[in-house]
A and B are shown apart, each in its own frame.
Chain A
Amino acid sequence: MNFDFSDDQQAIKRTAKDLLADRFKFERVRELAEASAYDDDAWKELSQLGWPGIFIDEEHGGQGLGMVELVILLEELGYALAPIPFLSNATAGLIIQAAGSDEQKARWLPGIASGELRGAAGLVRQGEAKLVPDADSADVIVLCSSDERTVVERLAADVQPVATMDTTRHFARVRADGAGEALEGDHRQGMSCAALAVAAELTGVAQRALEMAVEYARDRKQFGRPIGAYQAVSHRCAQMLLETEGARSASYYAAWVADAEPELLALAGSMAKAYASDAGWRVCSSALQVHGGIAFTWEHDLHFFLKRAKVDALLWGSAADHREKVADLSRAREEASVA
């Protein structure tokens, strides 16, 4: 029984953290957000390092690693608020890998793994996916609901870019309207992986907000002392830690389950998405409160994290949606274990 990462996994985490800290000082993130742009050079560089295909099998040009490694990367990417289309591409790859036929996988996965092709994916309700990250620049778009699983080329789909509060990312509303082709297999594990990917990103976002709040609470002085000395503030920070660690435990566990005990993924993935969705927003809101007025300004960095947290919470099912799934799945599991 060992909840720790292997040496290799720890190395991936360390490298990712250092590299992203170096490439994406926050002035750069802000600059790109304000220009509504991504860092194409960084995307090329990370593609060459094998990041987009980290979870894709070697047969299709990936690194042949798993969800644990992907979750490690996504946490660091969330922490850095990295301005690259990593998440969107990864979610497309996850679903195609889970549900594509051999031919479909061979057609799309190598490009997604190498970064030459770009995928995007989103949840469809009543014929429309309302919030698809990077659909506007993707080559292929995966549209899923509990029964639907369509892959459509961007040019064949109805893609309407939409401005959201998360200016670090591009979004679009997408309709397939009969275009595209169905994935052959069961896509639900892929959807769980997509939700888990967002949960991992949310964990990184929460971690960053927590660290910002703690640093501020140590430095900012009022009434002659650092505000973090006051329990109203320090207790708030303790609560932020509790929730961030909860999101982390849930995400790491679900990632391990995805690789080692996939029959448990649906439940573990929904737990992670539900908890991390709440935690991301709550931790960022709380961090804003710790900062007071300064973090209410556009000039302060925190609002970018706050908004990413809120929009991420809405992707691949809300906290309430996933709690509904948890209610169903845990009931089914209890019944199965009694039987």
Chain B
Amino acid sequence: MDLTLSPSEQAFRDELRAWLAENHPGEDPPGDDAAFEHRRGWQKRLFDAGYAGFSWPKEYGGRGATLVEQALFGEEMARAKAPSPVNVLGMVMGGPVVITHGTDAQKERWLEPILTGDEIWCQGFSEPESGSDLASLKTRAVKSNGEWIVTGQKVWTTYAHRAKWCMLVARTDPDVPKHQGLTYFIMDMEQEEVQVRPLHQITREPEFNELFMEEARIPDENVVGGVGNGWAVAITTLMNERAGLGAASAAGVRIALEELKQLARERGADEDPLIRQRLAQLTIEAELLRLNSWRGLTQIMKRGVPGPEGSLPKWQWSEVNQALSEVAVDILGEEGAYWDSPWTYRLLRSRANSIEGGTTEILKNIVAERVLGLPKLR
């Protein structure tokens, strides 16, 4: 057991930390367009320094980073409070899916523009009637004259209004069991047949969108992983999404906790025994997120694949993150009601943490069934 970093891991971290200190882009300027361009510039800077697509194999433009380096990367980015790069979905999900399931031509066409940020990607999975039961999705793709005609609706699509490409899962065969009749497409968002409508969430921001496809067209070359294989390809996406979070989200929680403690000190709440107990409990749970992510990483390194216990970190993170903001608002008292406080934003935004990327209920099912071996009801 050795929880110190090796010399090369240490060197990597020090180099990254120094680079971030010098190249941090600063906060997003106000306004959606300005913020977007700011993040795009940030992605280019990351790309030029070799930090974009960090976990991708070298032959596809990445750095072939080890799991430990990926975890350190996430931690350092969180520590520096660096904004996420503009094409995070492309880099964390789209790229890995194309690398794993795509043809050479597809890799050639799509991978580099993901890294440079020239082509933004979004994810078209969830539908109004298909959230946790994703396999029940209804968006329909029909083959006609050598191309696919797609009609349907997607929801919770981040960045749809900026995206060039959409990772779209659609039903291509309604006559087989639901998991088997799905296909994974890369759809060009720049067509009239695709309409984007912003979704206003309880924080008032339109972070997500609805997507309406009315006979949108997708060329046959844009099928990834083969017709009828959409479920397996989608799972790759979801597992990457979940595994990627671990160390970075643990670091993000630590940063937020430091801010919370700062708030407590400013308000004299750190002398209140009840608040002290709650802060201490959050400190312990934040530390456990970090330790569990390192422990889980050791397991992945040994076994080669993330296991279902990868669901524990996301579940746990959502609870700690939600509790953090609740303590903050308790400390603020009536001021905790004010709209312009960042803690108000976090209180509300964190309600989605236990839903997005896999609901806590689904994650508990996964843990119960695949880690504990309990029987299924369904």
Contact = CB atoms under 8 A, between A and B. Distances in A.
Chain A bound to chain B: yes
A326 B284 contact: yes
A250 B284 contact: yes
Given A3-B1, A214-B373, A256-B3, A249 B261 contact: no
B6 interface: yes
Interface string A311-339: 00000000010011011001100100000
Given A235-B361, A324-B276, A250 B288 contact: yes
A171 B222 CA distance: 72
Contacts of A238: 363-365, 367-368, 371-372
A1 B291 contact: no
Interface in B277-315: 277, 279-281, 283-285, 287-288, 291-292, 294-295, 297-299, 302, 309, 312, 315
A23 to B, nearest CB: 27
B375 A225 contact: yes
A229 B363 CA distance: 15
Nearest to B10: A1
Contacts of A228: 368, 374-375
Interface string A233-258: 11101110110011001101100100
A231 B312 CA distance: 17
A297 interface: no
Contact of A2 (B2, B285, B287, B364): B2
Interface residues of B, number: 47
A242 B315 contact: yes
Interface in B1-18: 1-6, 9
B377 interface: yes
A132 interface: no
Given A4-B302, A274-B284, A327 B276 contact: yes
Nearest to A320: B277
B1 A214 contact: no
Contact of B372 (A225, A241, A253): A241
Interface string A155-187: 000000000000000000000000000000000
A326 B377 contact: no
Contacts of A108: none
A324 B277 contact: yes
Top 10 A-B pairs, shortest CB-CB distance: A234-B368, A323-B280, A228-B374, A3-B298, A238-B364, A326-B280, A238-B367, A249-B291, A229-B377, A3-B295
Interface of B: 1-6, 9, 68, 258, 261, 270, 276-277, 279-281, 283-285, 287-288, 291-292, 294-295, 297-299, 302, 309, 312, 315-316, 361, 363-365, 367-369, 371-377
Given A1-B298, A226-B375, A231-B364, 8 more contacts: A4-B302, A9-B1, A238-B365, A238-B371, A245-B309, A260-B3, A320-B277, A323-B276
